[in-house]
Structure 1
Amino acid sequence: MVFTIRPAVREKIGLLFGIAGASGSGKTFSALTLAEGIKGQNGKIAVIDTEAGRALHYAPMPGAKADPASGTFDFMHLDFPPPFTPERYVEAIKAAEEAGATVIVIDSMSHEWDGEGGCSDMAEQAAIAAATDRNGVVQAWKVDAMTAPSWKKPKQLHKRMMAKLIQCRTHLIFCLRAQEKIKFEKVKDERTGRERNEIRQMGFMPVCEKSFMFELSGSMTMHPETPGEPRYDMQRKLNHDLQAIFPAGQKITVDTGERLRAWAETGADRPPADTDADATDDLIAAIQDAPTLEALQRITSSPKTKQWRKHLSENRPDLSDRVDASVNAALEIFEREDEGAAA
């Protein structure tokens, strides 16, 4: 692989911004207010709604015009029922982009991790399946033992989703639920010298994969006592520039969104999307997901795959090597499984 070194130049970015909060903290209204400022004069807002149409509360009445000052917004609505798998989130975002959205609000992103069919649900179901004997009886003792390995696939799917989101050209705003968390800590009693358990309040924490909020361009948490305001005493990721855009104690406004867009779109144009790399990622994902050797062979022997691998071999050897490596890795896994079964 040849490395290229060039002078660093700031580039425009597609925003990935997170707003977490408990019920009543104003996260959906704040997300739509931000989106109104981000979209500008000619942009379009889309809302991916996992909350059974709750976002429609912010749509104008039939025949009426949207008025952000009064709490209504002009947006396209995508109803998103379960299962809330990472792949379906990517599909929903693509559908919103194809409909012309320039800024997308995802409400709520928490379902990807903790909703029906989300990552936690997938891991739990995989653990139960692995702990079920041939007679269909679940061995309770084995469920706990299978919990850790059952997270491998959900984490892989979440990682793939994040890779897609980071490459997205559209501005994305994620709403996330937050829950009050506590932590049990062992504390030494100064009087007796003995250890005792003590409950420590952790405050409101976003319901999501533990590093999700910190992988975004920026994120914040809101509190029901101060709806619509970023809280600096709660989990957040706001660099110096973003702190100036989101001052503590001030509600989010349309002007806030305009300033956020200006921050994101300051710099050189981003390089065009690498469509070859995107298509190759999809092929590699299919190879990695092949449940059997026969399924893998169907993928690799299809005319479409053969034609694509030929194209990569002639034009993109870097991507061709990645496909070859993924096929070899999948074959090795099936060979080890066969050896284990034979033993």
Structure 2
Amino acid sequence: MAIRFIPVSEINDPLTIALGISGGSGTGKTYTSLLVGRGIAEGVTGKKGSPIGYVDTENKRALHYKAAFPEMMHFDFTAINEDGELVGFGPERWIEVIDAAEAAEMPVLIFDSFSHAWEGIGGVLDLHAQVLDRLVQDAEKRAAGKYTVDPAKFSQLAWAEVKPRYRRLIDRIVRAKTNVIICTRAKPVMQKGYGNNVENARATKTRRKDVPWDPASDADLMFEMTAMVILDPSAPGCPVYQIKVADQFKGLLDPRRPMGEDTGAAMAEWAKGQGGAQKQKEVMDFAREKARGGTDAFTAWWNSDDGKAARSVVRPIMVEIQAICAEADREAARKDDDPFGEGPADEQRGEGFNGTEPLDADALAEKVRAETNAMAEAA
């Protein structure tokens, strides 16, 4: 195979977008995905009314909006095939759908809800349970009653058989030649604490402490997305919780404003040539650098002519800016004339320290040697 590294100046093919939208009931996933999908489709093709491919696993729920979105191209994706056989939502079926969408040259494809691929009939969790049952039954046959088989010992072996199939689906989504919007369900997370101190009771690799929703998917999907957001019932359509949003999209995905056609159109513009995304990132990075000088330095820049011109770009990251300023202020407040800082409190410095006299280094070393020798003899 001939390998050629191509100068980026010669690469003009548009990028593709994979947008993840998760949320509980009443958060506006379906309607929002259709609005954003319309913006992407029309932005990519340059034509009004460009088709929106819609893969519907929710009992034709998307058809509630067919009057508002006549350009929708609907596919009723069920767990039963044309012959009435139960086939489920296995990874290979989703790959077939993506293949069909590409063959039909759909500019955008919406999956609603992709959670069926994870927790539906024939989905990843169901496949894992089936494989685990088979492995345990085989082990029990080998044991022939001589010993008890622990099913937990076969769980990882079952995942080793199922996960590669799911990983192929995720790779197919990433490499799709059409833009993809993936909707997933989200469930409330059990929390602990009260008021401003509330946080999730159990952290996982897909669950941040400050996000009270758990998407019905896995990290492989969430972090392969171009952008991944979670909606909240208190603000339907708004990307309140931003799980993965690069600087290039923070200006588009405002937690206070519902996503719409303009969101999709701007993302399509980015995909075609990145638009002004790189410049916006440079402005955000510059604001972060100013914040590292502390609150006073950042405020002075914010009120300067340059700062006023950058405000609309910087506002989406103001929470991050405030945290950087606060840390810089704390650092500046520490004593800097002592290379070891303020040091530990007296009661933390060990026996024999009276707060004024220095430690006897030789005595301390002898004490450590004696304790080490005593432990060695005991061992």
Q: TM-score, normalization: structure 2?
A: 0.59
**Which residue is 1:164 aligned to?**
172
Residue from 74, 78, 85 that aligns with 1:77: 74
Residues 210-289 of structure 1: pairs in structure 2 closer than 5 A: 210-231=219-240, 234-266=241-273
CA contact (8 A) 2:28 2:236 kept: yes
Residue from 88, 93, 105 that aligns with 2:93: 88
CA contact (8 A) 2:51 2:107 kept: yes
User: Are residues 184 and 120 of structure 1, via their aligned partners in 2, closer, same or farther at CA, if it must alter by over 3 Å?
Assistant: farther
CA contact (8 A) 1:32 1:73 kept: no
**Higher-RCO chain (CA-CA 8 Å, sequence separation at least 6):** 1
Matches of 2:164 and 2:70, distance apart in 1: 36
**Which residue is 1:28 aligned to?**
30
Matches of 1:160 and 1:253, distance apart in 2: 31
Matches of 1:57 and 1:140, distance apart in 2: 53
**Which residue is 1:273 aligned to?**
none
User: Are residues 146 and 235 of structure 1, via their aligned partners in 2, closer, same or farther at CA, if it must alter by over 3 Å?
Assistant: farther
Matches of 1:101 and 1:204, distance apart in 2: 31
CA contact (8 A) 1:205 1:235 kept: no
Count of residues paired in the alignment: 243
User: Are residues 52 and 169 of structure 1, via their aligned partners in 2, closer, same or farther at CA, if it must alter by over 3 Å?
Assistant: same
Cα drift, residue 147 of structure 1: 1.3
Residues 1-343 of structure 1: pairs in structure 2 closer than 5 A: 4-9=4-9, 11=12, 12-40=14-42, 41=47, 43-60=50-67, 67=68, 72-82=69-79, 83-132=88-137, 133-134=140-141, 141-182=149-190, 199=201, 203-231=212-240, 234-266=241-273
CA contact (8 A) 2:24 2:185 kept: yes
User: Are residues 7 and 96 of structure 1, via their aligned partners in 2, closer, same or farther at CA, if it must alter by over 3 Å?
Assistant: closer
Matches of 1:171 and 1:142, distance apart in 2: 45
Unaligned runs of 5+ in 2: 80-87, 194-199, 203-208, 275-379
Max radius of gyration: which structure? 2
Q: TM-score, normalization: structure 1?
A: 0.64
Matches of 2:70 and 2:254, distance apart in 1: 24
CA contact (8 A) 1:131 1:140 kept: no
> 1:182 is aligned with what amino acid?
M
Matches of 2:52 and 2:152, distance apart in 1: 44
Matches of 1:103 and 1:134, distance apart in 2: 50
Cα drift, residue 235 of structure 1: 4.6
Cα drift, residue 5 of structure 1: 4.0
User: Are residues 184 and 248 of structure 1, via their aligned partners in 2, closer, same or farther at CA, if it must alter by over 3 Å?
Assistant: closer
Q: State which drifts further: 100-109 or 200-209.
A: 200-209
Cα drift, residue 184 of structure 1: 8.8
**Which residue is 2:287 aligned to?**
none
User: Are residues 226 and 168 of structure 1, via their aligned partners in 2, closer, same or farther at CA, if it must alter by over 3 Å?
Assistant: same
User: Are residues 254 and 199 of structure 1, via their aligned partners in 2, closer, same or farther at CA, if it must alter by over 3 Å?
Assistant: closer
Q: Secondary structure at the match of 2:189?
A: strand
Cα drift, residue 142 of structure 1: 3.2
Cα drift, residue 134 of structure 1: 4.8
Matches of 1:59 and 1:152, distance apart in 2: 42
Q: Calculate the aligned-residue CA RMSD, in Å.
A: 2.9
Cα drift, residue 253 of structure 1: 1.6
Deviations along 1:49-108, whole A, 9 cap, x unmatched?
111211111112xxxxxx3xxxx4421111111211111111012223333421110011
Matches of 1:140 and 1:170, distance apart in 2: 51
Cα drift, residue 2 of structure 1: 6.8
Q: Secondary structure at the match of 2:74?
A: strand
> 1:263 is aligned with what amino acid?
W
Q: Matched residues, percent identical? A: 29
**Which residue is 1:297 aligned to?**
none
Cα drift, residue 4 of structure 1: 4.1
Matches of 2:150 and 2:75, distance apart in 1: 40
Matches of 1:263 and 1:117, distance apart in 2: 36
Q: Secondary structure at the match of 1:219?
A: strand
Deviations along 1:231-259, whole A, 9 cap, x unmatched?
1xx35211112111112200112111111
Unaligned runs of 5+ in 1: 61-66, 186-197, 268-343
Q: State which drifts further: 245-254 or 29-38.
A: 245-254
Matches of 2:218 and 2:148, distance apart in 1: 26
CA contact (8 A) 1:51 1:108 kept: yes
Matches of 1:140 and 1:211, distance apart in 2: 35
> 1:51 is aligned with what amino acid?
E
Matches of 1:184 and 1:154, distance apart in 2: 34
CA contact (8 A) 2:170 2:220 kept: no
